[in-house]
Amino acid sequence: MKRIIITLLALHAMVGVMAQNPMHFYPEENSNGINVDTHLVIQFDQNIEAGNKGKITVYDKTTKKVVDCIDMSIPAEPTEGQPKNPKAIYTPVPYIYQMANITNRNTRPGTPSGAAKEDKRRYQKTIIGGFSDAFHFYPIICHGNKATIYLHNNVLDYGHEYEVRIGRGTIGGWDGKKAWNFRTKTNKPSANTKRIIVAADGSGDFCTLQGAMDWIPDSLSSENDRKIVYLKNGDYEELVYFRNKRFVTIEGESRDGVVVHYPNNEVFNPHPVDIKTNEMKGTFPSRRAAVAADNCSDMVFRNLTFKTDCKGQAEGFLLNGERNFAENIHVIGDGDALQVNGSTYWLNCLID
């Protein structure tokens, strides 16, 4: 009798685990006008966790080609710090900030730049902001009953229809989805646009700060060319890295209402094992901050919060460049909450 009861309880628990049902998808099925930097969001009828098997595959319905594939059996990160290498040196020649259009579409994530050797360990990697050495990232982040899927950056294009297939095991207790279709916006913002809107709910020109910064050309010539990136109030959980930007204003709707954050630190995204870094211009760039503006000058940061969600050596904001200005921003980090290399004027800012 006791064995029967235990068996029934075990079966009941298994049914409970498999009972997750999706309640809402974003983008909605067969929707149009979706931003190319969108995340894929699924809300369930109960709390869920990311799985460790199965694949998420994105097909371009026009070309019939796979444009992205995420294998959830690959771990997101190292679980220990970078091995110590007594022979590691600072880069023998100044690091060159390439201005070529390097993305996940045309370059293999992990392709080494500068004097670094390739890290061939098998982790989730994505190119952000043209940094070909790539960042470790979480393909799925779950909070309560909401799962957010992070595709590799820059894999979607304007005016295309996509089909997403989610395999069993990618999200614990869910069988997955065979076909989830949506179409992106027809055109990107005009090159002459001075002010673009970022909105986490998809109602702006972009869903993410990173997507907006990727759209802005490198090294604008003068104040007359300045671009304004305006972020509506919202939660922006994204890893942000951009380089070679000039004359750009990043402004939030309110300091406490716009929070750009990510669980990043030196263990999650370490420096190369063979190269030392001190984050100064000319050395190998750091990848451990939640938000990093690298080799950027004449920038304005106003009315928003930059935050790391990790402990350890984990800046909320890392800024390298000259003649930058920060007003009414809140930086939350650990180790060094903020690191600045170069001249920056700070007004009414809070550093935690």
With a pLDDT cut of 70, the percent of the chain lying above it is 92
Cα dihedral 317/36/268/346 (nearest 10): 0
What is the mean predicted confidence (pLDDT) over 278-306? Answer: 90
Decide if pLDDT at 259 tops 70.
yes
Phi, psi for residue 216 in degrees, rounded to 5: -75, 130
pTM for the model stands at 0.92
Decide if pLDDT at 42 tops 70.
yes
What pLDDT was estimated at residue 98? 74
pLDDT digits (tens, 9 = 90+) for 120-147: 889 999 999 999 999 999 999 999 999 9
| pLDDT tier, 14 (very low <50, low <70, confident <90, very high otherwise) | very low
Q: Which of 307, 348, 312 is closest to 329 using CA atoms? A: 348
Q: Which of 23, 28, 53, 21 is closest to 164 using CA atoms? A: 28
What pLDDT was estimated at residue 279? 62
What pLDDT was estimated at residue 280? 66
pLDDT digits (tens, 9 = 90+) for 140-178: 999 999 999 999 999 999 999 999 999 999 999 899 888
What pLDDT was estimated at residue 19? 53
Decide if pLDDT at 349 tops 80.
yes
Instruction: Determine the Cα–Cα distance for residues 309 and 295; give it in Å rounded to an integer.
Output: 24
What pLDDT was estimated at residue 309? 95
Residue with the bigger pLDDT between 17 and 287: it is 287
- Is the CB of residue 342 less than 8 Å from the CB of residue 324? yes
With a pLDDT cut of 90, the percent of the chain lying above it is 74
Residue with the bigger pLDDT between 92 and 73: it is 73
CB neighbourhood size of 70 (10 A)? 22
Instruction: Determine the Cα–Cα distance for residues 245 and 292; give it in Å rounded to an integer.
Output: 12
The yes/no answer on whether domain 189-351 falls in CATH 1.20.120.640 is no
Cβ contacts of 7 within 8 Å, gap of 6 or more: none
What pLDDT was estimated at residue 278? 62
